[in-house]
Amino acid sequence: MGEAGSIDIGRFARDLHPMVVHFPLALMLTGLAFEVVAAVRRHAGLARVALLLIGLGFAAALVAVVTGLTNPEVRAVQHTLSVTPPTEPGTRALFLQRLDRIRVHQRLAYGVLLTGALVLLVRLWRGRGRLWTVASVMSGAALAVALIATGFAGGRLAR
């Protein structure tokens, strides 16, 4: 246990993920909102800013996933499960539930990376046809849903 004034590396590693996750959420959701405004006002400059924000948010999402995967709490939960005997079902149930919640959050986070990549690909290769407009709207909506769901699942873990 770290005394006052010392730096606890384990605690820092655990806190890193909650610190980083706000960036992809804020950047990508703001980017998507800017895109809507740019489309309504037909403002090319705003559309470029929106793309930049989504791109930065995607980079932040990569960092968030890496810090999530290296979060020591996941290993701690798995370790505790491995050393808790079956004769203590109450304790095992609590840790199994925690692990389930972590996995749900993990799946959703990978979903954010997938839809984020799709959103950027669509915008990189976007043509003039109606199909591209539909693809842009659909992928943007999917990303927004994935972001909100991941944030919600993560918030449930942090409560």
Partner 1 sequence: MPAERWRLAATGLLVGVAAVAAVALAAVPPGSSGAPAGVGSGQPDLRIVGRSLTAVGVRYDLARDRVSCALCHARLSTDPFELTSYGADYRELLFRDNPGARSILDASFAEIRTAVAATSRSGLDSDGDGYDNDLELRFGSVPGEARSHPSVPVRVLEGYRRILVAAERDGTLEKLRLAGAGRRPDCADSDGDGVVDCLETLFGFDPGSGSSVSAVRGGRLALYRAALADAGVAAAR
Query: What does the binding site for partner 1 look like in residue numbers (CB under 8 A)?
Result: 1, 3-4, 62, 87-91, 93-101, 103, 106-107, 110-111, 113-114, 117-118, 120-121, 124-125, 156-159
Q: How far is the CB of 27 from partner 1 (least distance, A)?
A: 16
Task: Select 41 or 107, whichever has its Cβ closest to partner 1.
Answer: 107
Tokens of 94: 């609590």
Q: How far is the CB of 69 from partner 1 (least distance, A)?
A: 9
Task: Select 40 or 159, whichever has its Cβ closest to partner 1.
Answer: 159
Q: How far is the CB of 144 from partner 1 (least distance, A)?
A: 17
Distances (CA, A) of 86 to 18, 99, 151: 32, 16, 33
Q: How far is the CB of 66 from partner 1 (least distance, A)?
A: 11
Q: How far is the CB of 90 from partner 1 (least distance, A)?
A: 5
Task: Select 4 or 40, whichever has its Cβ closest to partner 1.
Answer: 4
Task: Select 3 or 42, whichever has its Cβ closest to partner 1.
Answer: 3
Task: Select 89 or 141, whichever has its Cβ closest to partner 1.
Answer: 89
Distances (CA, A) of 156 to 56, 104, 147: 25, 11, 14
